[in-house]
Structure 1
């Protein structure tokens, strides 16, 4: 619906101040889209994937070549310009798809699970690339199941569960409102006496303790007294999701 491909089913929607149902072509011309899947043309080189896509927006051949060269340089793919997608790694192909989405110099970038199936190094490379675009003033709408990705990249979040909005706000505000300062994880909870202010939840066989930094010593003393192995960390957006929905993102 945001891409002006499907009509909205109810409510109102404006994209860059335009009605996508009535002004679909104008909306699409101002968007960049990064789909979840790999839809690069396997028969074209990296450079030609960008140039041909640019031509769909009415961009001249000369300008398309210049933009392709610039974007391949920015995506650290200049030396692979003549390679086909099958010759590139998964992370390289993902950066190429991101570069393709930028050929029309969009005002808004739509990203659907941009780092799905990437290894940690490739994922961080994509995050770095997106942060660079964000620093240049580009806005993007990101859908992701990766709470670390959302926390790193987004200024404002909308948390959905089964199609329903259950929370929205800045990442740090959501963590402060729905989680705590500190979290401890462990695999069992028998025989533990904890301060009354410590909140305890269990999901998928793992117990989570939520508490403030001032209570850390008391909590670790209680756990250490029974020889329990545990992990201490700061609260994050996955904790927000767990506490709001009662189920793990990994299930």
Structure 2
């Protein structure tokens, strides 16, 4: 359970619930259980502190250090984490009411994926792979989907996007992009794709581990502290005046 806690901690918030549902199904699978036991045995053999520390938070930190020190364990763990979201019929991210969500360094497996932003909201999909036969990028009411370093992969081909902002209704299927339609590759009014960065993005380095953090300043106005996605440290911040 400590290792599963680590795996879930590596997923962005929109993915965790759906990965949890997949995990619930997998736990009765003997092949899945064997893979889990094999990984835990390798990790605990390399570092016995993972099972000795008293809290889950300490265990997650020890597991992370152990995996980072072994390229083989890192590759096997990444594959295992990706499998938590496999066999999903539909994956959805809904961001509304001037909010912000980020899918970062993730792998999504689903028949259909939906990224929806409404009411002045922003979705950021960064350094990820979306394995779906069809992906919908929907953004209305002064909202947008910002996609960077991400590949949408289906059986009919792939589309890669770098520093792309989409508005309206965009669909990706195979190696084609559709504007305004439900899966068809064509053009529709009110939908657009533009090149360039997220104008509301601010960045800074974590004072604990020096990881580069990128966030949307409109979302940050609601908080006085932020948490590093890598080391989980929490610290205060100050937004630039501009």
TM-score, length-scaled by structure 2: 0.29
The structure showing larger relative contact order (alpha-carbon pairs under 8 Å, at least 6 residues apart) is: 1
Please state which structure has a larger fraction of its residues in strand: 2
Please state which structure has a larger fraction of its residues in helix: 1
TM-score, length-scaled by structure 1: 0.29
Tell which structure's C-alpha radius of gyration is larger.
Answer: 1
